[in-house]
Structures are given as structure tokens and as C-alpha cells.
Structure 1
Amino acid sequence: MEYEIKKVSLKDLDKTAELFNLYRVFYRQSEDYEKCKKFIKERIDNDQSSIFVVYAGDTAVGFIQLYKLYHYIKLAKQWLLSDLFVHPDYRGKGLSVALIDRAKQWCDETGACGLMLETEKTNDIGNKLYPRCGFEYDGNHNYYYWWK
């Protein structure tokens, strides 16, 4: 399958927001394209994340979103792989791996020490994909959240 991966800019906002909306629905959230569009626009306007979209021809079929963090042991920048999504019609074609490879390349381009991520224990696809892409499971930490 021929594909191209591009870093998102405002000209890609509509296509990226459509994918982000589908991604949220996948995680059992209500569909809200306008809210997704506003959210992605704010990330781009404020340089708060780096987003890459994979295209099959002119069709945006997947994306990866990275947020900048800093690692306290390595004393270096790292990227949080926050969101990864490939449209169901395009799964099984290696596009998730291609997006992860692009994120690793972004680490090189930005001088980051690596990527970190978390996923739901029930995400069978992700929990098989990430080790295959060289990620190591960290069973030593518990992640806690405080929501307002």
C-alpha cells in the first residue's frame, strides 16, 4: 500500500479533526466534530503537540499525536505518544507501525531521548503492537489520575 505521512498544520485541520473524532468514538466518547476541531486547532496554534497524519492518496486514514515531556532520569526531552489511530478500513496494512516509526524519527529530529505511552489494559491491538515496535512494558509503576 502506498502512503505518505505528513506533519499536521492548520491546512490539515479538517481532516485531522475528523480522524480525532473517530478516535474518541473508538474510546467510547460522544461524537463531537466541532469540539475536536477546536481542540486540535488549539494544540497547533499553541505548539502544544506534534501531530502526523498518514494519507492513502488524498484520504487521511490515521494519525499520531505527541506531547513534549521531560525525563527526570535521562535529563532530556521525551515525547508522550498520546494518541494513535488508524481508520478501521485501513487497519492491518502496517500504518500504525509506520506512524510509530515516524514518531521515533521525530525523536531523532528533535533531540528527544525517546517515547513513552500508556494504553488501556483492554486495548488488545495496542498491547500487541507496542512490544512489536520495540516498546518495553513497565510493570513497576502505577499511574494515577486526578480529574477536576
Structure 2
Amino acid sequence: MIRSATLSDLSALANLFDQYRVFYRKDSDIPAAEQFLKDRLTLGDSVIYVAEIAGELVGFTQLYPIFSSTRMRRLWLLNDLFVHPAQRGQGLSLQLLDQTKKHCRETRACGVMLETEKSNTIGNRLYPRAGFQQNEGSNFYEWTNNE
């Protein structure tokens, strides 16, 4: 079942979020993950959907609102998507992405954008299957504040 995350999900969600971060070569830090997610849920500055099987959280996606000036509409940034490795292959990622697209339509946003590493073979196969198209007409740049 896919549903919106609540504060009562915080502990289980933080564990999944920590695994997601470790996948991207970050140090494990469950207390910080829990605080980060608590802030997102409390402040309402992101939208988090969870995948639940038999009362256990097994996956999540997190969306952040941004805006497209040229389209003059909201745009959602799909920043995080993770399904526990033991639960992969059951279509949960596609269900989370379907919920993301439903949320986009319900909020009358112009679309959903995401970024994944070139080395993320699972994601790079998943997103086109879910109807996402790679934007080859743009360059992605990043500036990192090292202070």
C-alpha cells in the first residue's frame, strides 16, 4: 500500500532514509535522519509517500516543491526514492512513482523532475519504464558551498 507518511512513521522511515543515504556513500546517521525527516513532516516543506507491506514500511519517496518560471507553475522535484533491497522486484518503485505523478496532477503542477547518478543502473532503467524522459537538451550544473 502506498500512502502519505506521518509522524508516527518517523522511526521506520528514518531507518529507510538512512539506508538510502548509505547507498549514496554517506555515513550512517539515524538520529540526524530522524530529525531531518521530522523537520520535513512538521514544517510541511516536502511530501513523503511510503510503501507499506503488512504494517512494515519498505520504501519511500520524497518530493520538494519548486517552480518553473517559464511555465509559471509549480514543479515537483523527486529528490528521493528508495525500496528496501529485500522488497525490490515487486513493483513498489513503480507504485511510488505513480503516486508521485498522481500528486503532480492533483496539485496542478507542470511536471516532476529528478536526477540520478549515471552509475545507478536500477534507477536508469526504472525511470523510463515509468514514463520519465531523460532531458538531453540541458546541462546540469552544481555549486557546492564548502563553508
2:49 to 43, 49, 52: 52
* Counterpart in the other structure of 1:7: 4
- CA drift at 1:119: 0.5
1:74 aligns with 2:95: no
d(CA) in 2 for partners of 1:20, 1:85: 8
2:39 to 24, 36, 42: 42
- CA drift at 1:46: 1.3
- CA drift at 1:118: 0.6
* Counterpart in the other structure of 1:138: 135
Where in structure 2 are there 5+ consecutive unaligned residues?
none
- CA drift at 1:12: 1.2
- CA drift at 1:147: 1.5
TM-score (normalised: structure 1): 0.95
* Counterpart in the other structure of 1:87: 84
- CA drift at 1:36: 0.3
d(CA) in 2 for partners of 1:78, 1:145: 19
1:32 aligns with 2:29: yes
Q: SS where residue 74 of structure 1 aligns?
A: coil
Question: Which stretch of the first structure deviates more once superposed, 69-78 or 88-97?
Answer: 69-78
- CA drift at 1:88: 0.2
**RMSD between aligned alpha carbons?**
0.9
Q: SS where residue 95 of structure 2 aligns?
A: helix
Overall identity of the aligned pairs, in %: 47
Where in structure 1 are there 5+ consecutive unaligned residues?
none
d(CA) in 1 for partners of 2:72, 2:133: 20
Q: SS where residue 31 of structure 2 aligns?
A: helix
Q: Deviations over 1:46-102 (max 9, x none)?
A: 111000000011110000000001112221111100000000000011000000000
Aligned residues: 145
